[in-house]
Structure 1
Amino acid sequence: MAAAQEHCEFKTEIKKLLDIITNSLYTNREIFLRELVSNASDALDKLRFETSRGTEVKDPDLPLEITLEADDNKHVLTLKDTGIGMSRDEIVRFLGTIAHSGSEQFLENMARESKENKDASDIIGRFGVGFYSVFMVAHKVVVTSQSYRSDEKPVRWTSDGLGSYDVETLDESLPRGTTIEIHLKEDHKEYATENRIKHIIKTHSNFISFPIKMGEETVNQVTALWREPKFSVKQEQYDEFYKFLTYDSEPPLETLHISVDAPVQFKALMFIPKKDYDIFNQERDKYGLDLYVRRVLIQKENKDLLPQYLGFMKGVVDTEDLPLNISRETLQENRVIAKIKSTITKQILSALEKMAKSDPDKYAAFWKEHSKIFKIGYMDFAHKDRFAGLLRFNSSIHESKDELTSLADYISRAKEGQKEIYYISGQSREAVELNPHFEIFRKKGIEVLYLYEPIDEFALEAVGEFEKFKLKAAENADLKNLDDFADTDKDEKKPVEELSKDDSKILDRLLKKMQDILGEKVTEVRLSDRLTTSPACLVSPDGTMSSHMQKIMRLVGGGAKDDTIPPKAMEINADHPLVRNLIAIFGADENDLYLGACIEQLYESSLLLEGYLSDPHKMVNRINELLEQSSGWYKEVKKV
């Protein structure tokens, strides 16, 4: 039986809000259920608070829960909670007005933005009135509520969302709590099917602390593990939660469970996966942590919570310091998010540092799987030193390409007086060790880091210096700094007889001849102090980027068709047998055609090693001619 029925008009602000919600095209209408479940959870929290402080409440033995009923035949979805309920005055105040934002200008702005922004969660978040999102899918909504105060009568609120509502006080006894009947529009009757509703609950409200039931089934059965005390959670529980979150069949490599009270309050549960399943880098931009506000999912894979180079992390962040209905746009600008990101970044770096120190094998496993993403951190200048300390590279001291060393370990092995960390880039260990620029370091017994990925050199260029040691490409090393170091006994090359004065003069003229033949292809031709086993190499001017970096920048800037070769000097190894033979040939005949062919070949071979030779056809033809001549001479010598 009903009494005191009243027909009311929504205030102007509500009418405009409902018009925006119901008449704009949204793509994410299912969030209406997230909003209603969140409201129900709040009502249950308030009831529990009143009970905890000794307030006498109606139906004290009612379990605190949320129930959902889907009637597919009538297209009605019903949501019930046993929370604090509402009186007549409260239901009019909460459902008939906008609580905190009713300015005309604000609504005009939202009406304009709604035409451009099709995400319902954004506009609803701006108003902070999630209940009204129900009219995106409903042609009628009936709210029946019984207050927790025993002296209050139950009340029913009914509206079609078009401009008015009815309120009536009921002369009957109802259990405590609120029931919302959602009469669905014809084109949204999918929300009256159990499978659809269960999917939405598991997507958005899976970790609500109160049971959400459909029939006898509790839909949200997964515990919000991040809110549990760390000492009470076993690793098996972490592993199970990780598999639930990521669908990974293997347990995580590392688990980070943190609880922070300042500068912002949040809890986080994060994992480092054992494997990087993005083999082809097709999901590089698909990263982030799931953001919750008081157990309610606000956004999956929020990228603002993590720097990209830590994008291998999987997990959730839950905070009390954000409004439940915050929009995605506001999220990006929110200072709370920025502070959470800063804290999480430091926590992850600390965990990696601890792993690298206490369990090098585990860290090596991490590096093998996730280093390609992690190396992007060279852009994080705020944490440059910590990032640099976590880098790992293969080195000339290692026996195989699978061994790794840190910059700190390199420094611990540096020669006395050495103030630079040297590195050299190449596609493989074999390619690096055949690089002419490596020869002087082998001769001096100075360690060199081997860089196999294009990003490696970007990272070391950005780091610049580590523990007062400058990071320098081997080909740009100042040879004067290497003169102070004695040659090692590892160089088993037979000593070469010194050039006579006459041959030295011939060599001077030969260098000029080489310059004339090569012309503007090189800046100069000079003797080398760096070569021991190669006859020649190209050297960049002092202070410029390495050849490897130049090649990368050429591809990035000019595309693969850019054949421009940066200006380089050509250095000649006067002790190499080939150069000694050229000295003899030049001394006999300065215009010998064979001499010109050899000089061109030395230059193009050096270009090939540097990665600048774009058209090998001419070089291949020349090689064939030289082989033809040399094979004829060899045949005569061998008398075959």
Structure 2
Amino acid sequence: MAEAGKKPRQFRAEVRKVLHILTNSLYTNREIFLRELISNASDALDKLRFRINRGESPSLPDLPLEIRITIDKDAKTLTIADTGLGMTAEELAENLGTIAKSGSEQFLADIAAENAAKAKSGNGRAHEDDAEGEEAVADAANIIGRFGIGFYSVFMVANKVTVTSRPAFGEDSSAHTWTSDGLGTYTVTQSEDAEPARGTVIKAWLKDDAEEFLEKFRVESAIRKHSAFVPFPVFVDGEQANTQPALWREPKFSITKEQYAEFYKALTYDNADPLDELHFSVDAPVQFNALFFIPASAQDFFGSDRDFWGLDLYARRVLIQHRNKELIPEYLAFLKGVVDTEDLPLNISRETLQENVVLRKINQVIVKQTLSHLEKLARNDAEKYNDFWRLHGKIFKLGYHDFANRERVTALLRFNSSTQADAEALTSLDDYMSRAPEGQKTFWYVAAPNREAARLNPHMELFRQKGIEVLYLFEPIDEFVMDGLGRYKEWEFKSVEAAADDALKDFADKEKAARESAAPLSDEDSTSFEDLMAKMKELLGDKVTDVRISHRLADSPAVLVSPDGGMSSSMEKLLKVMQKDDSLPVKVLEVNRDHPLLRSMLRMFKADKDDKTLAEMTQGVFDASLLLDGYLKDPQALAARTNKLLEEAAAWYTEVRKI
């Protein structure tokens, strides 16, 4: 009795409920049924072509290999016919009457078994058989179906379906019809119709809420989205819907620039030709084909186009996912194109992925291939690479996050700099290093909204005097990139604002300051200047942390610097915006002791330390420095103070000139 209790028992399933789950819960998009039926038809044609290539002769050998879809609005029917392998009555019952019975899976299993038997026999044709086996596997690689449930998706939109099929091989060439309402029962009867002459015809009577698929444009739209690249022509009411070939599966040496451009425009709906294309096939560590394009126009990835990126993922020419973001890192978001792989682990509905291990491997290969392509472009066609940078450099800079490829990404960065003629000129970090004087081990940079603002930054004066090249950063993200990179080839990145007093002491002057150096102050005047700075600190109060002599200025009277070499003014402004903080920063005011304005203020201080005009000038020097730093909270007060000083200056001028 105990042994009887261990008797194996089979699971039981309510067929009606299983079909209900398959047709109503498995797929998220009803148009998927077209993808599934076209994939099945493509498989039938591939199987037929496979057997023809092996020397077998089908019925009606001159019949074209094609898929035809016809719409009958009056009868509310949608018909999909193929001229493929076809099925016998037994195969109809076996394949369509058994849920999850995949004819394609059995077909591939038969091929594998046949190849294994040949290998085991070990006869004199071993090498030839091996070659034939490999060719067989390659020919069968396009076969899509695996799960044996895709056909039932038709019941999402249909309340009755007939499948009439006539086999292409065998003595029994009669046609049979499988009929079902998708509620758990079916019938198989002999067909008296002449059609199909070979292959299979699926006719679906559409539900009232699925009448959208009686519109030709709706059917064509679904085909272009999911099945545009099946390897056989698909006709809708006599017009071919899939006219664009799957270029990524073609040898790239056989494809012209015009074909690439046509494919790109069809894929992206862009009117312009792409800037460049990248086409490759990979066999290890994962097998896939890829065709990418670099657009000739920029996208706003930090604004309205934030989510409009990713590659189209295909499995055996059938679209699985549009704009898949796991295939590429964000810094390659400018790429448009497709990836087609045989190794993709899909879920049973073929709409989502079961795991992302394969995608991670594909991602790694794509990154390496793309970086290699950009390196080659930068090396062989600098002008074209600079065009790429101007269009897509803003997003590519995010590659500083990619630790594994950081060195390669950094070498591909481009900047405008102080030694270049205009804002359009670009330099690499390696070129910057080649121009640097001996002993320099720092990439100096300044952040500014434009080239003129960078040039006029007071912190630039000493670098100009020493002839040290400075990189110009025009984008808010640039300083984050510099901080994130830290170093490149043992050189560090540093803002000119963070330069210590002795940072450039080892470099000789290359040019003189715009102004002639003032005469040295006497000991008495030096002491008085210390008192003047203390008075300026008193007048400015808590607006500054200190007032001190500057060793970085040559032509400007004053500059604000972060205490103890803190963050740059541009980074500080950016963080304040992010934190919604509109307070003014409290910094050190450095003054140029040799500037004529400060020498005049010194004379005024010595004459009357409480002079009201001296107080106005002190506030004016601070306001001007604040303005150059990118801050000005009270422009009205600045304008009023400036007008008052101009009024007094004009009065003095007219008095001195006696006019």
Please, what TM-score do these two structures have when normalized by structure 2?
0.86
Equivalent residue, structure 2, for 1:161: 182
Task: Give how far 1:294 is off.
Answer: 1.0
Mapped to 1, the partners of 2:564 and 2:166 lie a distance apart of 82
Higher deviation after alignment, 404-413 or 281-290: 281-290
Q: Which shows bigger deviation, 379-388 or 568-577? A: 379-388
Could you tell me how far 1:126 is from its partner in structure 2? 12
After superposition, the C-alpha distances for 1:577-601 in whole angstroms (9 at most, x for unaligned) are 1111111111222222222222222
Cα deviation for residue 610 of structure 1 reads 1.2
Q: CA deviation at 1:279?
A: 10
Give matches, 1:156-555, under 5 Å. Answer: 156-169=177-190, 175-276=197-298, 281-322=303-344, 330-331=352-353, 333-555=355-577
Q: Give the 5 Å matches for 1:78-157.
A: 78-99=79-100, 129-152=149-172, 154-157=175-178
Tell me the equivalent position of 2:604.
585
Q: Cα offset for 1:517?
A: 2.2
Residue 53 of structure 2 corresponds to 52
Q: 1:172 to 1:243 in 2, by over 3 A?
A: closer
Deviation at 1:490, TM superposition (A): 4.4
CA contact (8 A) 1:286 1:301 kept: yes
Report SS of the residue matched to 1:530. coil
Q: CA deviation at 1:327?
A: 6.2
- Structure 1 distance, partners of 2:14, 2:58, is 35
SS at match of 1:79: strand
* Structure 2 Cα separation of the partners of residues 213 and 150 of structure 1: 28
Question: Are the structure 2 counterparts of residues 448 and 66 from structure 1 closer, same or farther at C-alpha, using a change threshold of 3 Å?
Answer: same
Q: CA deviation at 1:250?
A: 2.7
Name the SS of the counterpart of 2:564 in structure 1.
Answer: coil
Partner SS for 2:159: strand
Go from structure 1 to structure 2 and tell me whether the alpha carbon gap of 1:89 and 1:480 turns closer, same or farther (over 3 Å shift): farther
Q: Which moved more, 1:410-419 or 1:196-205?
A: 196-205
Query: CA offset at residue 83 of structure 1?
Result: 2.1
Q: Deviations along 1:223-264, whole A, 9 cap, x unmatched?
A: 111111112112222122222222333322111111111111
> In the alignment, is residue 568 of structure 1 matched against residue 587 of structure 2?
yes
Q: Compute the displacement of 1:306 (Å).
A: 2.1
The DSSP-based 3-state class of the residue aligned with 1:400 is: coil
Q: Is 2:27–2:351's contact at 8 Å kept on the other side of the alignment? A: no
Give the letter for the 1:168 counterpart: T
| Alignment match, 2:656 | 637
- Once the two structures are superposed, what CA deviation does each residue of 1:58-97 show, in whole Å capped at 9, x if it has no partner? 4444332212121111011111122222344433343234
User: Aligned partners of 1:180, 1:215: CA distance in 2, in Å?
Assistant: 15
1:195 Cα offset (Å): 3.1
CA distance in 2, matches of 1:86, 1:596: 99
Does residue 15 (structure 1) correspond to residue 37 (structure 2)? The answer is: no
| Counterpart residue number, 1:119 | none
Q: Please, what is the CA RMSD of the aligned residues?
A: 2.7
**CA contact 2:544–2:586 (8 Å) conserved in 1:** yes
Partner SS for 1:62 = coil
Structure 1 residue identity aligned to 2:163: V
Unmatched runs of 5 consecutive residues or more in structure 2: 1-10, 103-144
Is the CA contact 1:378–1:458 (under 8 Å) kept in the aligned structure 2? no
Q: For the structure 1 residues 601 and 126, does the alpha-carbon distance in structure 2 shift closer, same or farther, using more than 3 Å as the test?
A: farther
Q: Which moved more, 1:482-491 or 1:525-534?
A: 482-491
1:609 to 611, 621, 628: 628
Provide the rounded CA distance (Å) in 1 between the counterparts of 2:520 and 2:657.
29
Count of matched residue positions in the alignment of Structure 1 and Structure 2: 605
Distance apart, 1:334 and its partner CA: 1.8
Q: Which residue of 2 aligns with 1:115?
A: none
Counterpart of 2:37 in structure 1 is 36
Q: Distance in 2 between matches of 1:621 and 1:581?
A: 22
Question: What secondary structure, in the 3-state scheme, does the structure 1 residue paired with 2:261 have?
Answer: helix
SS at match of 2:631: coil
Q: Answer yes or no: is the 8 Å Cα contact 2:346–2:352 preserved in 1.
A: no
Is the CA contact 1:290–1:301 (under 8 Å) kept in the aligned structure 2? yes
CA deviation string 1:279-316 (max 9, x = no partner): 99422321122221111122222222222222222212
Alpha-carbon distance in 1 for matches of 2:374, 2:175: 57
Match of 2:142 in 1: none
Aligned-partner SS, 2:264: helix
Q: Distance in 2 between matches of 1:241 and 1:589?
A: 80
Match of 1:110 in 2: none
Contact 1:242–1:248, Cα closer than 8 Å, also in 2: yes
Q: Residue 505 of structure 1: CA displacement?
A: 0.5
Matched to 2:591, the amino acid is I
* Separation in structure 1 between the aligned mates of residue 350 and residue 408 of structure 2, nearest angstrom: 31
**1:396 & 1:212 partners in 2: Cα distance?**
59
Deviates more, 1:313-322 or 1:166-175: 166-175
Q: Report 1:72-83 matches (<5 A).
A: 72-83=73-84
SS class of match (1:523): strand
CA distance in 1 between partners of 2:351 and 2:317 (Å): 21
The CA deviation string for residues 43-69 of structure 1, in whole angstroms up to 9 with x for no partner, is 221222223334454444433221212
Closer/same/farther in 2, CA of residues 13 and 450 from structure 1, 3 Å limit: farther
Q: Cα gap change, 1:419/1:14 in structure 2, threshold over 3 Å: closer, same or farther?
A: farther
Question: Partners of 2:14 and 2:290 in 1: how far apart?
Answer: 38
Letter in 2 for 1:548: S
Check conservation: 1:128, 1:325, Cα contact below 8 A. Answer: no
1:330 deviates by: 4.1
AA at the equivalent of 1:155: H
SS at match of 1:542: helix
Q: Supply the AA of the counterpart residue of 1:146.
A: R
Contact persistence 1:305–1:337 (CA under 8 A)? yes
Asked if 1:594 is matched to 2:616, the reply is: no
Q: Tell me the secondary structure at the aligned position of residue 256 of structure 1.
A: strand
The alignment-based identity, stated in percent, is 54
Instruction: State the 1:448 CA deviation.
Output: 0.4
Letter of the 2:33 partner, please give it.
Answer: F
Task: Look up the equivalent residue of 2:42 and give its one-letter code.
Answer: S
Question: 1:64, 1:26 → 2: CA distance?
Answer: 29
In the alignment, is the contact (CA less than 8 A) between 2:224 and 2:242 conserved in 1? Answer: yes
Q: Deviations over 1:99-127 (max 9, x none)?
A: 289xxxxxxxxxxxxxxxxxxxxxxx997
CA–CA distance in 2 between the matches of 1:398 and 1:198? 54
**Cα distance, 1:544 vs structure 2:** 2.5
Shift of 1:550: 0.8
- The residue type equivalent to 1:285 in the other structure is D
Calculate the TM-score normalised by the size of structure 1.
0.88
Q: 1:488-517 deviations in whole A, cap 9, x for unaligned?
A: 134343121000110001011112222222
Stretches of structure 1 that go unaligned for 5 or more consecutive residues are 1-9, 102-124
Instruction: Provide, for residues 191-231 of structure 1, a one-character-per-residue CA deviation record: whole Å limited to 9, x for no partner.
Output: 23333322322222111111222454333222111111112
Task: Give the Cα separation in 2 of the matches to 1:498 and 1:195.
Answer: 86
